[in-house]
Structure 1
Amino acid sequence: MMPTYVYACKDCGHAMEVVQSFSDEALTICPECEGSLRKKFNSVGVVFKGTGFYRNDSRSSGSSSVPAASTSA
């Protein structure tokens, strides 16, 4: 999957989304007015919400990082 980049023209304000590989050169010329393009950066698409994420969150409920209490008398 290749990332989608958003470009905006500094001269006419034309905005466009372009699917490009990481190795592709950034676009520099506006297709509408041949002005100067700039790449716009958006916020990250992944947001982690909640109380936190821990190393043992994905383990089954039977395992624990805390040793079980001894029951021998």
Structure 2
Amino acid sequence: MPTYDYQCDACGHEMELFQGINDPVKKKCPECGKLKLRRLFGSGAAIVFKGSGFYQTDYRSDSYKKAAKADNKPSESKSDSGKGDAKASKKSKGKD
């Protein structure tokens, strides 16, 4: 259920009210009792993420990101060793 902001035009009282979307708009000010209360424009239906697990489960950890980068990088030792073996085999064929 969203939280709505209200303000009284008669006394200037401001308040937040936690009510359902289909609930009627309040008109009577709880401070002065006049029917001058109006609902202010705002987000109203904001999503609030609560709990300790939200950030831990919905976003990748730094260790995961580092491991993913390491997996995606072409390793220089494998490519260099492959080229060296090919050159060595050509040289050995030429000497025989």
Pairwise TM-score range, normalised by the shorter structure: 0.5 to 0.7
- Map 1:1-73; keep pairs closer than 5 Å: 2-35=1-34, 36-42=36-42
Q: Which runs of 5+ in 1 are unaligned?
A: 47-73
CA RMSD of aligned residues (A): 1.9
Q: Which runs of 5+ in 2 are unaligned?
A: 48-96
Counterpart code for 1:40 = L
Counterpart code for 1:6 = D
Structure (1/2) with the larger strand percentage: 1
Deviation, structure 1 residue 34: 1.1
Q: Distance in 2 between matches of 1:5 and 1:43?
A: 8
Q: Find the structure with the greater CA-based Rg.
A: 2
Q: Distance in 2 between matches of 1:33 and 1:8?
A: 12
Q: Secondary structure at the match of 2:23?
A: coil
Counterpart code for 1:9 = C
TM-score (norm 1): 0.55
